[in-house]
Amino acid sequence: MTTEPATAAAPRPSSSAPTILDLVGETPLVELCRLTSDLPPDVRVLAKIEGFNPGGSVKDRAAVRMVREGLGSGALRPGKTIIDSTSGNTGIALAMVGACLGYPVELVMPDNVSRERKRIISAYGAKIVFSSGLEGSDGAIRLCREIYSRDPERYFKPDQYFNEANPRAHFEGTGPEIWRQTEGRVTHFVAGLGTGGTIMGTGRYLKKQRPEIEVIGVEPDDAFHGLEGLKHMPSSIVPGIYHEEELDRKINVSTEDAYDMVYRLGREEGWVLGQSSGAAMVASLRVARELREGVVVTIFPDFGDRYLSTNLWIGWSQLPPPAARP
């Protein structure tokens, strides 16, 4: 985590990319400063800012990988429609990929996901089929299976919850990036539990480099929670790619604590983020406060602009401005 001095002879990297899909990955790792001011000097907390992906979230990684593997195997070919269930971000990512590659996209999602997510998906030209919001992501999974079963030859279903290309995208992308960006100093990896792809793939890579690195999952503390994108595994359809025995432990976070942390991140660190990022930060601070030294790395899956119409901000009351830094 040092910065090498630039030389006058160093070549300037190209700023162009063949397609928008080639901009996925290589997101920045940023250190949290004000929220960690009470930690021992040898304990650091860093977050990978996945909102910088072109589709705006960590789900771009898996979506691109699943579609490219589908093209490679022939499962996706001209005339087929990409279909999957989603709570929002994977849907946005698949809609972006489909638009870029010229494939129609149909997405099944709970009708209570944020207005912003629905509009972004529509802007890419994808079709949305709504499932009951009361049934959460599991309801979308079931309805998507039903639609697919009616005409399987029409569709290519990446099936993000059961497709090993999902964690593979993180094993070959997110994990190596974190290892390189921390110069191998990462000691703890903390990530939210949704499909399980991010924590499985990244965790496997990091443990392959150094087995003593702790991999810690972040889970809502209740089945009825307000943390879009996260799953309460004991009460949910467990994704086939998720293997809890590979985790060192899990940390449960309440909706209220996650929301409060989102507000603090915006006001004290300058990051306006989503609910799952708030939960990840709550858990990361809990881990960091157990340590005398270490480097805790977490994932901030997206930015907060796609949640401004949700309960996260509805009814939020403005607090006094934080004190300025000395």
User: Domains of the chain by range and CATH?
Assistant: 20-56+174-307 (3.40.50.1100), 59-156 (3.40.50.1100)
Picking from 94, 26, 59, the residue whose alpha carbon sits closest to that of residue 196 is 59
* The length of the chain, given as a count of residues: 326
**DSSP 8-class letter at 273:** B
Catalytic residue among 48, 59, 157, 231: 59
3-state secondary structure of 208: helix
User: How far is 84 from 71, CA to CA, in rounded Å?
Assistant: 16
- Name beta bridge partners: 107: 84, 128
Crossing angle between the packed helical segments 255-264 and 275-288, to the nearest 10 degrees: 90
Cα separation, 22 vs 40, whole angstroms: 39
Catalytic residue among 85, 131, 236, 276: 276
Q: What is the β-pairing status of strands 294-300 and 43-49?
A: parallel
pLDDT tens, per residue, the chain with 326 residues: 543 433 334 444 556 789 999 999 999 999 999 999 999 999 999 999 999 999 999 999 999 999 999 999 999 999 999 999 998 899 999 999 999 999 999 999 999 888 999 999 999 999 999 999 888 888 999 999 999 999 999 999 999 999 999 999 999 999 999 999 999 999 999 999 999 999 999 999 999 999 999 999 999 999 988 888 898 999 988 999 999 999 999 999 999 999 999 999 999 999 999 999 999 999 999 999 999 999 999 999 999 999 998 888 876 655 555 555 54
> Is 131 tagged catalytic?
no
Active site residue 157: no
In angstroms, the CA 240 to CA 133 distance is 23
R_g of the chain, CA atoms, integer Å = 20
| Phi, psi of 300, rounded to the nearest 5 degrees | -100, 105
Full-model pTM: 0.90
